[in-house]
Amino acid sequence: MTRIDAKFAELKAANKKAFVSYVMAGDPDFETSLDVVKGLPAAGVDIIELGLPFTDPMADGPTIQLAGQRALEGGMTLNKTLELARRFREDDDTTPIVLMGYYNPIYSRGVDRFLEDAKAAGIDGLIVVDLPPEEDSELCIPAQNAGLNFIRLATPTTDEKRLPRVLQNTSGFVYYVSINGITGSAEAEATNVGPEVSRIKSSTDLPVIVGFGINTPEKAENIASVADGAVVGSAIVSKLASGAPVSEVLDFVKSLSDGAHRA
């Protein structure tokens, strides 16, 4: 059982929904980023999504793109991202970390070496947005064999024909993208999301977590009420980009997690 599996079992026993937060590793700099990540569990975050900076983030909106750019300009690398996870693990051995990004940096490092290093750093799962199910032998299956969850995205355009393929080797949870388009481009609506989550859950026992377009405590509550939890990314990254101190960013995260946990 991975930390992700254990976390969902714990939440289910407590009849609680999950709150997942995304932050870009190294944004705006390594130490600030580490301080934010270290503060997330106390702010109510159940699972941390840690963005891996990349030069061509095609699925990300301007907010996340700029965060990645800031991180890269500050010298952030895959090595330093794993180091950030290692530093976090010095104080927290229970909160799951999902590394989210693109395949190129992993491929450049070599899959076997990457998986060994990620596991040693305390990474629990991967979301690699540009590897479709047809490429499962590249990373998904090796990752699962190494004891890491491989989390797949489902979208409003994932139809009945495609869904079984998407779910085939997915583990940990399913990440439902609530809107068509890039991150931060529109707002999620529970009335649209609910039926889609039910459709996915009829085909899998995995938790379904909803992200994209969630930016307020009320929205987090509404979306979590029709799913197994909610993800917030761009709104948190925007707070950091505004120059807000770490304490203010974490207060904002707490308000979002409180919303999701009310559901």
Give the side-chain half-sphere CA count within 13 A for 165: 11
> Cβ atoms within 10 A of the Cβ of 103, count?
17
User: For the chain, how many residues are written?
Assistant: 263
Active site residue 49: yes
Looking at the chain, which runs of residues are DSSP E strands? 18-24, 47-51, 97-101, 125-128, 149-150, 152-154, 174-177, 208-211, 229-232
* Rounded Cα gap, residues 54 and 236, in angstroms: 19
Candidate list 60, 124, 136, 196, residue with the active-site label: 60
Of 5, 49, 124, 228, the active-site residue reads: 49
Q: Decide the pairing of beta strands 208-211 and 174-177.
A: parallel
> Under 8 Å CB-to-CB from 140, ≥6 apart: which residues?
131, 133, 150, 169
Residues 20 and 224 sit within 8 Å (Cβ to Cβ): no
Instruction: Report CA torsion sign: 124, 68, 185, 156.
Output: negative
- The rounded Cα 54 to chain-centroid distance in angstroms is 16
- DSSP classification of residue 175: E
Residue 56: active-site member? no
Question: Would you name the residues annotated as active-site residues?
Answer: 49, 60
